Amino acid sequence: MNLSPTYGNFVLRGTVVGLADKKTFTEGQTESGEWKRAQFGVKVSENSIIYVELFGLKSSKVKLFKRGTNTGESLTVEWDDLYSSKYNDYRYANEVKTNLGRGNINDDLSLIAWDAIEYFEQRLKDGLSVLVKGSLQLSEYKGSPQEQFAIKELYVLENCNFKYKHLEAFFSQEIVYVSVDSLKENDEYRLNTRIINRNTSDYDVVPFNFYIYNKDVYDYFKNNISKGSTLRVHGNILNYAPLKIIDEYRVISGTAVKGLGVTGGNIRSINLNRYDVDRLDSTSINGSPFEEDTNINDWGF
């Protein structure tokens, strides 16, 4: 069976938090070379923080890819020669764009992940208003689903004062549709899917469940999408504790909510009956630009 990866991405706006944590910037050594990791929170609403990250590996040589082409044209250069002007027509794998300290979102700087982490460590501060875009990576670890938000772009937003009235954390993800289930009577549903990830030599097929909080969206899946079809969905990144006001104080009123809530999809992306899910599930699991087309109806279908 021929498989294709199901890619996802995200975009969020908020303020940087948690930089004082000793786990924010870490580093180490493996057989592949030195590595660095940045992990920090972005507060996107009054009671919601999304944690983003970036991993960088240092090696003696780096592969560069020709910009503006889909031919896979590439070359390998020495690490210390990465930023030479003679390679301006090439990009690095895991390239990160940022404007920290430059003051203009249109005047961004492109860095390899390793250098971007050092740049963030020097210039990021708690309370900075930022726009973050990146890759949504859904995997499985010891039987549990994992969500990772890998940074591809990070921009400081000048003169931006967040009121936190509305959640500003969104995702887009291609899925293999399996089924939808009703969880409660108050319009809460589960969207059962498969995610196809590429590994070093083959593919991993990962079961992953999304949430739906709108019956019309649930009905669309139930009545129009067949098992094994692929399509791109979009929605909200959920990571918050419910709050209510008691005696003018905001207090936690329930269990924390964490997951991805689907609010719609792209009708043009639907490929009905693309995979046999039973055969897909037999595939070994080895471990572990946000865009919406013109809406067809209120939910994007």
With contact defined as beta carbons under 8 Å apart, do 41 and 65 qualify? Answer: no
What are the tens digits of pLDDT across the range 18-67? 999 999 999 998 887 899 999 999 999 888 899 999 999 888 888 888 88
In whole angstroms, give the CA distance from residue 237 to residue 48.
Answer: 10
What are the tens digits of pLDDT across the range 260-290? 999 999 999 999 999 999 999 886 554 443 3
**Whether residue 296 has pLDDT greater than 60:** no
> pTM for the whole thing?
0.86
**Whether residue 234 has pLDDT greater than 90:** yes
Q: How far is CA 134 from the centre of its chain?
A: 5
pLDDT band at residue 12 using 50, 70 and 90 as cut-offs: very high
pLDDT at 245: 62
% pLDDT > 70, the chain: 82
pLDDT band at residue 86 using 50, 70 and 90 as cut-offs: confident
Once rounded to an integer, what is the mean pLDDT over residues 98-104?
68
What are the tens digits of pLDDT across the range 15-30? 999 999 999 999 998 8
**DSSP string covering 86-142, please?**
GGTTEEETT-EEE-TTT--TTS-EEE-HHHHHHHHHHH--TT-EEEEEEEEEEEEET
